[in-house]
Amino acid sequence: MTKFDHSRRVILSTGAFALGGLALPSILRATELPEYEDDNNVRTSRRNVMGFRNHDWRDHFSNLRRGAILCDTHSRAVHFWSEDESTYLAYPTSVPMTEEFTRRGMTEVTLKRYQPTWIPTPNMRERDPSLPARVDGGDPKNPMGTRAMNLSWQYYRVHGIDDPAKVGRRASNGCFGLINAHVEELYELVEVGTQVRVI
């Protein structure tokens, strides 16, 4: 066992203890992600572990009709509850890079897209004219990853990601980017009409 593996296990057990021994969601699986180092040689999978906080859906939604997604910009996590409360999942995510790109409040999933095509928004093309007009689904350079769930707010999505090192960072133009394996799992559980709240 490497020193890092031991540290990760200590962090996980300490985190579970700190949460009062509550049953934790699949959030802990997120720590089994491939390890990526940022510009300061910090492993991103470890950086997120203690930033998560459990949420009770009742603090954010009046019901779980069609399920619910909570996008927490502070702890940089996406939470999901199924309508029957049998499933609670939480994943690390990238979040909007500035307050200018951050929209908070209630919305819902209006469209689910498999291998989504990415079309930069007009504002993105204005800021960076070198961006391509579109990148087809399945292209490794597609920043939307393998799945996308459009929200009722124009240009806002919960989607996969082209670069796992962005997860846990302020790195998006307004969307929430998950590791592809995570967004694929979430995609299967979410339906059109699932309520979403961004805090």
Closest CA relative to residue 163, chosen from 186, 185, 140: 140
Higher pLDDT, 65 or 22: 65
- The candidate with the shortest Cα–Cα distance to 194, out of 161, 149, 154, 153, is 149
Region 162-167 average pLDDT? 87
Identify whether the C-beta of residue 44 lies closer than 8 Å to the C-beta of residue 165. Answer: yes
Half-sphere exposure in the Cβ direction for 51 (13 Å, CA):
21
Q: Which helix (H) or strand (E) holds 69?
A: strand 68-72
Nearest-angstrom CA–CA distance, 60 and 70: 8
Distance from C-alpha of 104 to C-alpha of 84, rounded to nearest angstrom? 26
Instruction: Give the model confidence (pLDDT) of 36-92 as tens digits.
Output: 344 444 443 334 444 567 899 999 999 999 999 999 999 999 999 999 999 999 999
Which pLDDT score, from 0 to 100, does residue 52 have? 66
Active-site entry in 55, 79, 159, 182: 159
In percent, the amount of the chain with pLDDT more than 70 equals 74
pLDDT for residue 11: 31
More confident residue, 133 or 78: 78
17 against 87, higher pLDDT: 87
pLDDT attached to residue 19: 37
Q: What is the pLDDT of residues 175-194, one digit of tens each?
A: 999 999 999 999 999 999 99
Instruction: Report the pLDDT value the prediction gives residue 122, as an integer from 0 to 100.
Output: 85
DSSP category for residue 84: T
Determine the Cα–Cα distance for residues 98 and 40; give it in Å rounded to an integer: 21
Q: Is 159 annotated in the active site?
A: yes
pLDDT over 80 (residue 8): no
Give the model's pLDDT for residue 174: 80
Q: Which of 55, 71, 79, 175 is catalytic?
A: 175
Distance, in Å, from the CA atom of 15 to the CA atom of 30, rounded to the nearest integer, reads 13
Distance CA 166, CA 154 (A): 22
